Structure 1
Amino acid sequence: MNNTPYSIHANPDSIPVIHSNWYPPAAVTEKNLQYAQILMPDLAAAVSEMTTVHQYLYQSWTAGSNYNKESGKLDSRALHKNIRRVIQRIAVVEQHHFTIIGQLITLLGGQPECRSVEPCSYWRGNMVDYSCDIRTVLATDAESEKFAAQAYADQSQKIKDPQVSKMLARLSLDEKLHYKIFSDFLSQI
């Protein structure tokens, strides 16, 4: 991974939001409902790909935008526009992760429902952090990505199916990259 800090002043489309390693195919060695259950929270629990996608989309529309009561207009600095664009691009990667996790759960023999492991704990919109403050957004996102990177790394060790394990390790690389981007941006605000 690049050790040079990612600049909030850079062209937002020039910042890599996906790790350079190829994704392995979404595959399993054999069905395993226990492994499918391990992955269920990654799909659509409070801390999940589904929540992350929705949160990042919301942030790509609103982060750093403040309503100016005096002028009656929305104040959105160009710098925040760059950050919102990077968040929007990361949301697309997280949506890809959401798809991969759903495919793995299905291949493992599970039902990729939008809930955590608990039967009646379906995903809800109030799981999204609706903050617009740019510092809060970047700090929250960095923490979320750090958690996701570690969770995928841990699951890749816990799950003994080499196909699933390889994919989880690969997803962890994207999350580490996102953590670095958000951390670097936060240090420049």
Structure 2
Amino acid sequence: MDDYAGVSSEFTSVNQYLYHNFDLDETHRELSEMWINISITEMLHMEILAKTIRLLGGNPVYRGSTSSCGAYWNGGFVCYGNSICNRLKLDLHLEHVAINNYYKDISLIEDPYIKAILNRIILDEKLHVSLFEKAIEKYCK
């Protein structure tokens, strides 16, 4: 499942946002807290998806499907960026891709419970979009 550990996945989001936090100097405490908190939410999404994969009889290994041709997840999936503004824009893009992927999945899935799970995750992703947009307004003008 690409949403779990593909190129534009929850696993990629966690690692990308944590890296952006780790490579930040101490003067940007507000950004640091934002990236950490969003990473925690993405970890919760991973847990939800992993449990769902297991309930469906799958094994939640760290690999994608179509986005990575079935390859295992690797650090090359992370967009590291080269400045705060660039990183925020990369993160915003990743959230938009995630939302679009979840909507695509919902259109293909018949199970109403899985659809409900994905719709709930989308709500969080939309909040992340809002947070990144506000940060871009503040730090990229």
What is the rounded CA distance, in whole Å, between the counterparts of 1:112 and 1:151 in structure 2? Answer: 18
Paired residues, what number? 136
> Which contiguous aligned blocks of 4+ residues in structure 1 show a shift greater than 4 angstroms?
none
What is the rounded CA distance, in whole Å, between the counterparts of 1:106 and 1:88 in structure 2? Answer: 27
TM-score using structure 2 length: 0.89
Larger relative contact order (CA 8 Å, sep ≥ 6): 1
Q: Secondary structure at the match of 1:109?
A: coil
What is the rounded CA distance, in whole Å, between the counterparts of 1:185 and 1:83 in structure 2? Answer: 8
Shift of 1:42: 1.0
Contact 1:57 1:91 in 2 (8 A): yes
Shift of 1:93: 0.2
Shift of 1:153: 2.3
Amino acid at match of 1:162: P
Task: Give the structure 2 partner of residue 50 of structure 1.
Answer: 11
Question: Does 1:90 pair with 2:38?
Answer: yes
What is the rounded CA distance, in whole Å, between the counterparts of 1:131 and 1:101 in structure 2? Answer: 27
5+ residue gaps, structure 2, are: none
Task: Give the structure 2 partner of residue 108 of structure 1.
Answer: 56
Name whichever structure is richer in helix by fraction.
2
Residues 89-129 of structure 1 deviation map (CA, whole Å, 9 limit, x = unaligned): 1000000001111111111122211111244x011112112
Q: Secondary structure at the match of 1:188?
A: helix
Considering only CA atoms, is the larger Rg found in Structure 1 or Structure 2?
1
Residues 43-82 of structure 1: matches in 2 within 5 Å?
43-63=4-24, 65=25, 76-77=26-27, 80-82=28-30
5+ residue gaps, structure 1, are: 1-39, 66-75
Percent identity, aligned pairs only, is 34
